[in-house]
Every structure is written in C-alpha cells, then in structure tokens.
Amino acid sequence: MKLRHLILLIAACMALAPCMAQTTRCQTIAHRGEWRSEGSAQNSRTSLQRAMDLGIFGSEIDIWLTRDDHIMVNHDDKYQGVSLQDASFAQCKRLRLGNGERMPQLKHLLRILKRSKSPTRLIVEVKPHRDPMRSRRCAAMAVNEIRRRGLEDRVMYISFSIEACLTIHAMAPEADVAYLEGDRTPTSLNHMGINGIDYHFSKFQAHPEWVGEAHRLGMNVNTWTVDKPEDIRAMKALGVDYITTNEPARCEELIR
Ligand code: MG
C-alpha cells in the first residue's frame, strides 16, 4: 500500500514538473534599468540601482564606443547634439542625463554591480556602430572590462550586430549572448555558436515555434519590449525565459 502511494506521488510530481519549471522560468529584465520612477533616468546609475532594489533578474543597458575608445552608456548614438561614436571622451564626459547624473561609462555601472550583493544581472547591449569593426571593438572591450572585474557570471550580452555577438562568443564561449534583430532562426544562430535569441514580441507572435526550437537547442529566449499586461501574459504563456520591459515592477507581479 505504501509503495503504491509512493509511486502515485512520484507520478504526480513528474506530471507537475514541466508546469513548475514553466512558472519559475520566466524572469523580468528592466529595459534601460528602472527609469520611470521619480529621480531616475534611462541608462543611469539610479536606474540600475533601482532595478537591483526590485530584486529582479536583470537590468539592461546600451553601450557605445567613443572614437578614442571609451565605453559610454546611452541608448541613442546622438545625445544633446553629440554623436557618441564620433565624439571624443572629453566631449562625452560633460553630458548630463535628465536626472542630473553625468552620463555613465560602462565601468561606473560595473562598479555598482560589483559592490552590490543583489542577484540582478547586467544585460549589456552592444549598439550597432556605423562601422561593424567598431561594434566588434566595443564588444571586445566590454568583455575585457567585465572579465577584469570578475563579473563574467553577473553579465549577459545582447546585440543587433551579429559581428558583436560573434566577437563576444569567440572571446568568451561560456557567456550568454543573444541576437536582437529577429531575422534569423534559432537553428542558424546556434550553428554560429550564439546561445540566445532576444526578439521583439511581434516576431514570436509570427513565429511561436521559435521558442520551442531555441529551447530544444539549449538556447535562452528573451523578448522586448513588453509593457502591456496582456502582452506580458501572452509571452509568459508562450514560454519565454526573459521579458524585457519598461514596467519591471508590474511585469514581476504579473509573472509571479
Ligand atoms: Mg537596449
């Protein structure tokens, strides 16, 4: 009788296991940090700190390489009339964000990450520079800087630039790297050694089979930028691993 109960219990656990894995799998990534609260700004020190305070899985940033090889953190290339990829560091270091902070360099955010005991990872997006060689160089410098600080396990990389993705993979084969453009199948990326896809959610609405295809290949699936509750629920139901959102607190509530 006891053995029968044990067998029934094991069978029930095995039946529930896929559902449990599904519910614990989906995680929140704050798009450009948690920047919508008072006193914060996109890609700022504050937005990273506030994402970490939420205890969510990740906080995303965007990086550009200045012409004299400093890594600046900002979404757009052009900011207050300055093109980050064309400017010198001397021009960029004077730029201020909407909340009054100076525009950070990658190293400033890595310092915050290093000091913190938060589980939040930094998701580093290498922006596609006009010259693909600069995208490669930006990626390579970021990998070196992150490695030098011993933060390899607390960082993931994303990029629209396939050159940047391939550079990161070649330098750090163990790193999580996801391609953003949405124009390649998981299988084709897997053949190149890229171990993640991070596509706009409309791509997964058009190709829901890519989620399972990526998972069968052992790849991570991230989606951006998902802010509406119905879209967050739909992406969770589809089985993505990460949801990148401008509403991290709300997303976290919805997926838990
Ligand atoms: Mg980005």
Residue 3 counted as domain residue:
no
Across the range 30-45, mean pLDDT stands at: 98
Q: Does position 110 have pLDDT exceeding 60, yes or no?
A: yes
Across the range 193-203, mean pLDDT stands at: 98
Across the range 129-152, mean pLDDT stands at: 98
String of DSSP letters for 73-142 = E-SSSEETTEETTTS-HHHHTT-B-TTSPBPPBHHHHHHHHHH----PEEEEEE---SSHHHHHHHHHHH
pLDDT of residue 5: 61
Number of domains the chain is built from: 1
Residue 109 counted as domain residue:
yes
Distance 31 CA to ligand 1 centre (A): 7
Confidence of residue 11 (pLDDT cuts 50, 70, 90): low
Q: What percent of the chain has pLDDT over 70?
A: 91
Q: Does position 99 have pLDDT exceeding 90, yes or no?
A: yes
Distance 74 CA to ligand 1 centre (A): 9
Distance 112 CA to ligand 1 centre (A): 19
Distance 43 CA to ligand 1 centre (A): 9
Dist CA 235 CA 224 (whole Å): 10
Distance 1 CA to ligand 1 centre (A): 58
Amino acid in position 237: A
| Closest to 128 in 3D by CA, of 185, 195, 171, 180 | 180
The 10s digit of each residue's pLDDT in 156-175 is 999 999 999 999 999 999 99
Confidence of residue 105 (pLDDT cuts 50, 70, 90): very high
| pTM, 2 dp | 0.91
Quote the domain boundaries for residue 113.
25-255
Distance 236 CA to ligand 1 centre (A): 21
Dist CA 211 CA 237 (whole Å): 11
Dist CA 150 CA 113 (whole Å): 11
Residue 14 counted as domain residue:
no
Distance 14 CA to ligand 1 centre (A): 39
Distance 12 CA to ligand 1 centre (A): 42
The 10s digit of each residue's pLDDT in 210-251 is 999 999 999 999 999 999 999 999 999 999 999 999 999 999
Residue 16 counted as domain residue:
no
pLDDT of residue 25: 82
Residue 216 counted as domain residue:
yes
Residue 20 counted as domain residue:
no
CATH of the domain at 246: 3.20.20.190
Residue 103 counted as domain residue:
yes
The residues that bridge with 102 in the sheet, in sequence order, are: 96
Residue 8 counted as domain residue:
no
